[in-house]
Structure 1
């Protein structure tokens, strides 16, 4: 399904099941979330609150010097939780560096999320433990990985799917377009999930896309849909539809989730230098957590005891995140050679041998200097 709009960042014509004020809206996509009752909505609310708390705690850790860098996702919780909760355990995720909410939904060990940003490892978790690849920093490269994996799914005759996440800026990269060519050619079961958060670092989406980004994939033969990325229920619905298409031989789907990056690109960025504060204020009124809270409250599903329990859960997760970060052991000097290749090889072993001898020389020199004092 392809929905049109006149501007790259516009919000007209989006799939929307929950309005900005928390009102429930009827949609042809209702059938994809007919099983989500009050308890299901409460669970999605808890997920988003916890993910936002994780993000806030990690940002604080960076500001306090415990992390070298952090890429905030503030404002994008609905896109990540809605799509993440649609996935099966055997589906495989290929993300950028901002999908920490998806990683939470996949069950990642939170300490593993911080390991790279603290500088303790060159990678994070074991990808096969949660069926999610470690974050890709090279913009758009993960789309090729996802398409290749999806082609492998076809060869295996399985009915799982691959999903790849990227931002609006990545759509200008050749990798993304090449991935769509291969996905369409082989009808690979892959979902391209674009979080259009309106900013590619300091460049607005309208600079690189004069029409909606979702207009591009049909040119490759890939059906696309634009969804309100601040509506967790709508994001769940469109992702379930795309997964169903992938599992039943319908090939790839492109989802453009129109959302907004409320914070900086990373903690090294200052968005006040390029962003109009009025724009931020407008999007704050469409906050994904506030709108679901309004829907729950209107239905009597957010009493004080539920709200307090969710807050306690978020605080507990944040405390464990902080403890895991500050108590993380420093890596040993030779750990840099671990997990570089799946199997040992003489090239890497030779480098390690040279480095071991260099370290031994330094230690001997230090011991000699101390003995002569």
Structure 2
């Protein structure tokens, strides 16, 4: 007969120690080299920002048409020797900019504008190489986080598209009677540069947080602030495009008084070009006027957004909107100073870099509205 077992006796006992349950599996699975990829993207961001500055200087020094051919590979080598320099100069002498504006330019003067454009294109090649080597390295090492391959390839594709648009822009000034590239093509080129910057910055923000942290943060999304900051981002992008139109026709150097233009609220002869719609793209007075008015509207909207964002219960989010407002104010002041001084090189570039800073500040505030950082109850009080 089997012996009775006590009701207090363990049903099964095993002296073998049991392994502790594993934690953090969601966070570890497919994590990849988030820090490494983030650092790599930050390098590309810095290079693209440098590209915008060099591109601005290339435009302001009228150097953009000095290279009349697009050779993505062989163009990386500059002219070597007197014969090669003479050949390049002869090509430049065939385009309207030389014939109608720079006739009589010396070879040494040509070299000075050539090097600006060559450096601009060379920097583009460097950015492409940094992207390719970085992505290939992370992909071969299988260190790309789950779901990030398409995002990183997308950045590279935008970079390639930017190169093609750059040539499309330059080609507009190589024939006819145009002295510069078409302003709307310049605006497209600059606009895409800011789109690339925006995506890189957003990816850098995402990679700075773990996936579980981001999933948790979405539960506290401030939808109203996120929506308003999205509108602010689009508004700022439109103002950047208008700024490119101003730069494309040197409209920033025509009226150097403020707040009036030529002593008037509306500048003289704002619609002298026919058909009327062309004035918004080709009339320097009207183009600068529109850029000014849009700047005022952007500041007004920014103040409304800041008044709401600074009241956020999340201290980091509120701080992001305070920073955005500060950069917005500095950019306004810089824009006015640039106009009053006739848009000299150093102020023009500073204003352009200020646009980058404002764009990223808005984007960061938008990100933190959607993914607020965790804080203790005491911090929220």
Please tell me the TM-score bracket, short chain as reference.
under 0.3
TM-score (norm 2): 0.26
Q: Which has the higher strand share?
A: 1
Q: Which has the higher helix share?
A: 2
Higher relative CO (Cα under 8 Å, sequence separation at least 6) belongs to: 1
The structure with more radius of gyration: 2
TM-score (norm 1): 0.27
